[in-house]
Amino acid sequence: MNKEVIDKVIQPYIDEKHLFERFMNAVVDTFRLEPELNKYGNPIIYTIKNRLKDVDHLRGKIERKWDEEDPLTPDNLFEKVTDLAGVRVLHLYQDQFSHIHNLIQKQLDNGDWFLRENPVAYSWDPESSSFFKQLGLESKVKDSYYTSIHYVVKPKEDSNICCEIQVRTLFEEIWGEIDHTINYPHPTEKSSCKEQLRVLSKLVSTGTRLADSIFRTHNE
């Protein structure tokens, strides 16, 4: 794919990047300033990360994943790429997730945010999937054993601007960072690494479950 075509595809993002940043910062502040999630000494939210997609990284991703049968265009870029702005909310253990989910649902109910697409809970663990389904979330399994809950929200119902929110535990963040280092931008072809990442994902699930148990015991 030649450079001129890619440059035209990404130009709308360059033109409106400041609008993505403005909404992303508002999403961050919604989590950062919510008193119930940030109580001193015992916060629900451990930390918040955020980033805008780097233009050069976007260009490289489009080049790697270019599909002649279903190409990206300047008109469909924002429809097909929904992670140009991203916020990641990290918490200690799974029982805390419902509080974060409730805040997001409150934002939706109040009309402060609108869903771009239905939220998805990625988890290979049947027990965790059942927990997320009870909250009304669709549960999916990825072959990589990736675990995280994804929401894509926008400021207005007809807006092209959106922000992906990922919510995960600190254990899941460790797995995610190692997986990203190994597999991005080019997935490892070493079967041993793939298997080790799967084993690590099971250790992560065990760690998250043990953390839940510790805090349930502590709070009795």
Full-prediction pTM beyond 0.95?
no
Burial pattern 119-146, b for ≥16 Cβ within 10 A else e, equals bbbbbbbeebbebbeeeebebeeeebbb
Per-domain residue ranges of the chain: 3-170
Alpha carbon 64 to its chain centroid, in Å, reads 21
- How far is the CA of 23 from the CAs of 26, 65, 95, 106, 113, in angstroms? 5, 27, 28, 17, 10
Q: What is the pLDDT along the chain (220 residues), one digit of tens a residue?
A: 678 899 999 999 999 999 999 999 999 999 999 999 999 988 999 999 999 999 999 998 898 888 888 889 999 999 999 999 999 999 999 999 999 999 999 999 999 999 999 999 999 888 889 999 999 999 999 888 899 999 999 999 999 999 999 999 999 999 999 999 999 888 899 999 999 999 999 999 899 989 999 999 998 8
Distance, in Å, from the CA atom of 215 to the CA atom of 146, rounded to the nearest integer, reads 24
Q: Looking at the structure, give the CATH architecture of the domain made up of residues 3-170.
A: 2-Layer Sandwich (3.30)
